Structure 1
Amino acid sequence: MVLHLSTFHLEGGAGVAATRLHRALLRSGFDSNMLVPTVQQEENGVHGLANTKWQARKAWMRFVAERAFFLPYEKDKSVRFAFSPALIGTDIHMHPLVQQADIIHLHWINFGFLSLYSLEKLFSLGKPIVWTLHDMWTFTGGCHYSKGCENFLSHCRYCPFLARPEAYDLSFAQFERKRSMYGNAKLALVSPSHWLDNMVKNAALTQNIQAQSIPNCIDTDLFTSLDKSEIRARLNLPMDKKLVLFAGANTQDPRKGFSFFKDAIAKLNRNSMETEVLVLGKSRPENFTGFPANVHYLGKISDQQELVNAYNAADMIAVPSLEDNLPNTIMEAMACGTPVAGFNTGGIPEMIDHKVNGYVSEAGSSDSLAEGMQWIMDNNTGYSLSRLAREKVIRSYAENVIARRYEELYQSLLAR
């Protein structure tokens, strides 16, 4: 039996990816279970640590306590959730599911779920551990994305996320703790993108640990092409406009590149107002004041079918992320036949085949992003790009394809 450990169940890119893998393994006949702090809705094989209101409150208090601990260290509030000290968490090494598991599969485990001490106790069990990385935290001194800092290649110190970067600061201490822990663990690291896998193989903490790249998976029966006109009519969206989607868990996170998207839309609409915008995710109406196009704010959508409808309503999606691993939004959109224009960063160019099923724009350039969006609008005649985008997902990210690769990894670890 494999046991997945994840901070989130049905929200956040990493939580969604973990749950999708669990479901894919179950459908393939593999014995899979998942343990999360709080189950958001009942689901086969998904178990929560918090089964009472008091337990749920304690889980929330661990999150608050971990953030409060970091408060005196943070450079400013912009990095508040970009660095995890992982000093507060739950010791689950004696949990019945952990004890029963043949393989422990870690996903994103920060924000008060598992601390460094929690991980040490899990590693001490001597069981094979697969860790799917959804960002850089596993091999850094605490940051989730390094924003260009390359200290993790040698030794984290003088951390740019901290108010007082020093030779022996918080990042140095976490780096040393991880080095000690990893030396005693039966670890196999999995990166959804080759971009992240390459960093894993060069990072000082992980360069000697077994590592490979296996993408996230998606249910291509759920995420599929639908009748665009019918969906727009249902959502009360205009039939005669080009609709460009921007999606993100938090649209105002600078890493997601909303400012570049806004500038690119202004360039597209310089001579006409033919293009309108769909925005999906956490935001506020004032964020769209003065936006250079009519904005249809869809809000935060958790229902999967409504998410599929949103992708199908759009002519294309723009993903101008400055740092990203293997965005679920790209995979979801392409599965629905919605072409993508995205920046040439992280795992994005691995997903989009430039001028084949979408457009890879120059990172940090709103001009290039606008060119990419215009190219898709001009070249998706007869939905040829849409068809090729969906074919790429079925070939590379379908549940049966990814489940088989993980099963092979599990079996190889158990055979040792």
Structure 2
Amino acid sequence: IFRVNLPRGKDGYRHPKMDDNFGQLLEKLQPDIAHIGHLNHLSTGLVDELVKRKIPIVFTLHDFWLMCPRGQFMQRNFGEDGELYQVCDGQEDEKCAKTCYSMYFSGQESERQRDLAHWTTWIAARMEETRGILAKVDRFLAPSRYLRDRFIQDFGVEKHKIAYLDYGFPLHYLTTEGSRKMEVFTFAYIGTHIPAKGIHHLIEAFGRLKGKARLRIWGRERAQETAALKSLARDLVQNGNQVEWMGEYVNQNIAEKVFLHCNAIVVASIWGENSPLVIHEAQACKVPVITADFGGMKEYVQHQVNGLLFRHRDPGDLAIQMQWAMDHPAAFQELGEKGYLYSQNGDIPEIRAHCEELGTI
């Protein structure tokens, strides 16, 4: 294992020193094939180093980074309706400059056109670079059909070069011993405290519930983001219910430390998540999931089949689904018992079987 990262290189995409070091590593290792999981915080030039040495490339897609400079098709600026972080309907160079990079403009009206031209040109060059990767990769893998289809329809990936293959999981730590007996119905969020995850919508929905309930939020705190969420919870949750901030957890202990201590997992992401790991992990432990009817989220949860769906980015509808779960706990748990939709026994894909299937692609 060789660990390397450019933590401050989020918007950069080509780093010659990184490319040179990678090339030296390839000369030392002489691999037969390369598997790319992401290029963000690394360098697009890694692909060229592999091509120069005629090393076949398999690239697993986890988000939209190749086709969207920000990676999630979520805009930074306020929309016409005043909503922040709107879902973007597609990549266009000038639109990207206006909606996602104007924060880097000087702020002087006399400089606006020059700033806009600069960032439009930067984005065009960046997109030319990432589009060039398509011809160099031998096979793309997408962990959801939604993501696969977006890359075919919106980015021009040829159908024969991209295959759907869901993630595989080591199942030994995804077992629960004991029962989930909560004093009150307990909803849970697991993940990072960033706007894209929609925790603010979850808190708003939780504040609308009638009856006694609890919301537990797991994940590493992020200074301003977490402080803002805690302030939001104090303002919006006035029904006597409690929001508990649980902090970090070790993923190998997720079944014992998280899933045994909640009745429902809520995935309220405001972007088009492709194949959320937490949905799979919850399904492995038969914890029912409430998530949005959008992207890969609705691909792995079907409403009233193995979980509940709410209208994407709609806290009011999320509250309705959460209320139903509270009011019908036995029926809700029955949905969770269905588990994963794409196996006969409801089990999520196991990592060894995943690797065997990978070898056939």
TM score, norm. by length of structure 2: 0.79
In the aligned structure 2, how far is the partner of 1:350 from the partner of 1:286?
31
In the aligned structure 2, how far is the partner of 1:303 from the partner of 1:211?
30
Alignment partner, residue 103 of structure 1: 33
Alignment partner, residue 245 of structure 2: 297
Residue type of the partner of 1:162? Y
Within 5 Å, give how 1:154-173 maps onto structure 2. 156-159=93-96, 160-163=99-102, 164-166=115-117, 168-173=120-125
The Cα of 1:344 is off from its aligned counterpart by: 1.1
The Cα of 1:352 is off from its aligned counterpart by: 0.7
Within 5 Å, give how 1:14-413 maps onto structure 2. 47-49=1-3, 59=5, 62-64=6-8, 66-67=9-10, 84-88=11-15, 90-91=18-19, 92-96=22-26, 99-111=29-41, 114-140=42-68, 142-147=69-74, 148-152=87-91, 156-159=93-96, 160-163=99-102, 164-166=115-117, 168-183=120-135, 185-207=136-158, 210-228=161-179, 239-249=182-192, 251=193, 253-269=194-210, 272=211, 274-283=212-221, 284=226, 287-289=229-231, 290=234, 292=237, 293-306=241-254, 308-323=256-271, 324-381=273-330, 383-389=333-339, 394-409=346-361
Which deviations, in whole Å up to 9, do the C-alpha atoms of 1:230-260 show, x marking residues without a partner?
A: xx7xxxxxx42111001222x2x22111121
Contact conserved, 1:129 with 1:186, CA < 8 A, in 2?
yes
In the aligned structure 2, how far is the partner of 1:103 from the partner of 1:327?
27
Unaligned runs of 5+ in 1: 1-46, 51-58, 68-83, 233-238, 410-416
In the aligned structure 1, how far is the partner of 2:94 from the partner of 2:12?
14
Cα gap change, 1:206 to 1:362, in 2 (>3 Å): same
Contact conserved, 2:300 with 2:340, CA < 8 A, in 1?
no
Contact conserved, 1:106 with 1:132, CA < 8 A, in 2?
yes
In the aligned structure 1, how far is the partner of 2:37 from the partner of 2:179?
35
The Cα of 1:392 is off from its aligned counterpart by: 5.8
In the aligned structure 1, how far is the partner of 2:355 from the partner of 2:122?
38
The Cα of 1:349 is off from its aligned counterpart by: 0.7
In the aligned structure 2, how far is the partner of 1:353 from the partner of 1:226?
27
Root mean square deviation of aligned Cα: 2.6
Residue type of the partner of 2:100? F
Unaligned runs of 5+ in 2: 75-86, 103-114
Contact conserved, 1:93 with 1:99, CA < 8 A, in 2?
no
The Cα of 1:94 is off from its aligned counterpart by: 2.9
Cα gap change, 1:390 to 1:182, in 2 (>3 Å): closer
The Cα of 1:205 is off from its aligned counterpart by: 5.0
Cα gap change, 1:123 to 1:380, in 2 (>3 Å): farther
The Cα of 1:306 is off from its aligned counterpart by: 4.4
In the aligned structure 2, how far is the partner of 1:260 from the partner of 1:143?
22
In the aligned structure 2, how far is the partner of 1:311 from the partner of 1:169?
48
Alignment partner, residue 31 of structure 1: none
Which deviations, in whole Å up to 9, do the C-alpha atoms of 1:61-101 show, x marking residues without a partner?
A: x323x25xxxxxxxxxxxxxxxx331336221231587432
Residue type of the partner of 1:200? F
Which deviations, in whole Å up to 9, do the C-alpha atoms of 1:186-224 show, x marking residues without a partner?
A: 421111111111111013353467011111122233112
Cα gap change, 1:117 to 1:360, in 2 (>3 Å): same
In the aligned structure 2, how far is the partner of 1:172 from the partner of 1:222?
45
In the aligned structure 2, how far is the partner of 1:205 from the partner of 1:117?
21
Residue type of the partner of 2:277? N
Contact conserved, 1:225 with 1:337, CA < 8 A, in 2?
no
In the aligned structure 2, how far is the partner of 1:97 from the partner of 1:162?
38
Contact conserved, 1:264 with 1:366, CA < 8 A, in 2?
yes
Residue type of the partner of 1:372? Q
The Cα of 1:308 is off from its aligned counterpart by: 4.1
Which deviations, in whole Å up to 9, do the C-alpha atoms of 1:313-344 show, x marking residues without a partner?
A: 10001111111111111111111111011011
TM score, norm. by length of structure 1: 0.69
Contact conserved, 1:158 with 1:169, CA < 8 A, in 2?
no
Contact conserved, 1:223 with 1:332, CA < 8 A, in 2?
yes
Residue type of the partner of 2:7? F
Secondary structure of the corresponding residue to residue 188 of structure 2: strand
